[in-house]
Amino acid sequence: MKIPKITRRDVLKRAPITALGVSTSQRVLAGGTVGTRAVPSSGRKIRMGVVGGGFGAKFHWHQHPNCVVTGVSDLRPDRRKRLQDRFHCAAAYDSMETMLKEARDLDALAIFTEAPNHEKHVRMAMERDLDVISAVPACLTLEEAARLKQVKKATGRKYMMAETSYYRHYCIAARELQEAGAFGELFYSEVEYYHPHIGRRTSPLSFHEGQRTWRYGFPPMLYPTHSTGLLIGVTDERFTQVSCLGWGNPDNPALKDNVYGAPFNASSAIFQTGRGHFCRCNVFWEGTAHGERAQWFGTKLTFYMPGSGGQPFRLQGPEAPQWKEIPEYRDRLPEGMEYESGHGGSHPFLTLEFITALLEDREPVIDLERSLAMTVPGIVAHRSALEGGRQLKIPGYGEI
């Protein structure tokens, strides 16, 4: 399969190079921003529904000049109220099913429900003729991945996965350095996601009012995209095979009785890519480290993201850009959205990309194919860990 190259034009319109007076590569290597502030391309308003008042309340639909939230939904009344207040929306529904049945003023749906229901909820929305953005991961099984492909083909609706690592400022910087050729050949990467205590009784994410949530005992490699997105978001490679090992803390009761039959709360995988490169990928629910981090190794440049353990940001190489800090990217956002957010400043960029894609009638950059490219390797990696690290082939998009 020929892998398309992402250009910055896929993400945000940029000013002509002649107007900038300097080449794109020169500006990136000098640490300057590339591109101009996004401005409304039309007067059209995308009518958005939002489902899920946890992470779903972190986005900025109401602040995009071409978007209005016309309906919100959550099973919990407190979260419905949170969504209404956040998005200044009068219409609230007690379930997604009710919203899909009754609401007639929707163009798109933002789905931030529990991970085991993502695939089902995305299909329901697309079959209702809505474009969809959903939380990660896109799905949990290869069968679910195949159903997403099928519903996309049948309906023609647009899908985007809200993978935050793709728009972390460090990932944007690495992606643009890669496009400028600064890495030489980027042959190895280390990508990590650490979220301690998921699944334990001490975790508020794993219990609500004494009842287990979907996160209780959830297999780490079924939530891989905060890690895999840090390579796919830079080089757009595809993972082709994997060997993965898992470890389970014997003191964690969640590993003995979870609905997934999962014995691990930490997993580490070695992936190979279609370009013959390799990547070490960690997802841990155990330990004291936290957050997302990557290291990208090239023949000309190595890029180290900072980390929770005090690791510094550093560019290393004989011709490495002399950046003292990461370049500024918020000036590419529409007025009123140029502020920091959670997950490395990514939330406004995800908002912008999805709305812009609908206005321009194109697929979002993190479309279904790239979403599955980030998700499916983790599904296969988890299977490898269950089989003691046996190396397994990862199906490509056309093989699912």
End-to-end CA distance of the chain: 13
pLDDT tens for 368-400 read: 999 999 999 999 999 999 999 999 999 999 999
Q: Do you find a cis peptide bond into 263, omega within 30 degrees of 0?
A: no
Q: Alpha-carbon distance 214 to 228, whole Å?
A: 22
Of 383, 384, 364, 399, the C-alpha closest to 238 is 399
Per-residue pLDDT band at 23 (split at 50, 70, 90): very low
Per-residue pLDDT band at 40 (split at 50, 70, 90): low
HSE-up of residue 52 (Cα within 13 Å, Cβ side): 19
Per-residue model confidence (pLDDT) at position 336: 82
Per-residue model confidence (pLDDT) at position 21: 27
Per-residue pLDDT band at 38 (split at 50, 70, 90): low
Contact 141, 120 (CB under 8 A): no
Average pLDDT of the residues in 232-247: 98
Per-residue model confidence (pLDDT) at position 341: 80
**Residue 5 pLDDT greater than 60, yes or no:** no
**Residue 99 pLDDT greater than 80, yes or no:** yes
pLDDT tens for 255-277 read: 999 999 999 999 999 999 999 99
The region of weakest confidence among 14-28, 79-93, 201-215, 341-355 is: 14-28
pLDDT tens for 116-143 read: 999 999 999 999 999 999 999 999 999 9
DSSP 135: P
Per-residue pLDDT band at 35 (split at 50, 70, 90): low
Contact 50, 61 (CB under 8 A): yes
Average pLDDT of the residues in 23-30: 42
Per-residue model confidence (pLDDT) at position 268: 98
Who wins on pLDDT, 57 or 140? Answer: 140
Element (H, E) at 280: strand 278-284
**Domain 167-172+181-328+368-399: which CATH number of 3.40.640.10, 3.30.360.10, 3.55.10.10, 3.40.50.2020:** 3.30.360.10
pLDDT tens for 272-330 read: 999 999 999 999 999 999 999 999 999 999 999 999 999 999 999 999 999 988 887 98
Per-residue pLDDT band at 202 (split at 50, 70, 90): confident
DSSP reduced 3-state for 157: coil
Could you tell me the CA-to-CA distances from 270 to 68, 187, 278, 303 in Å, in that order? 43, 13, 7, 19
Domain residue ranges in the chain: 167-172+181-328+368-399
Average pLDDT of the residues in 146-151: 98
Q: Tokens 């899908």 map to which residue?
A: 159
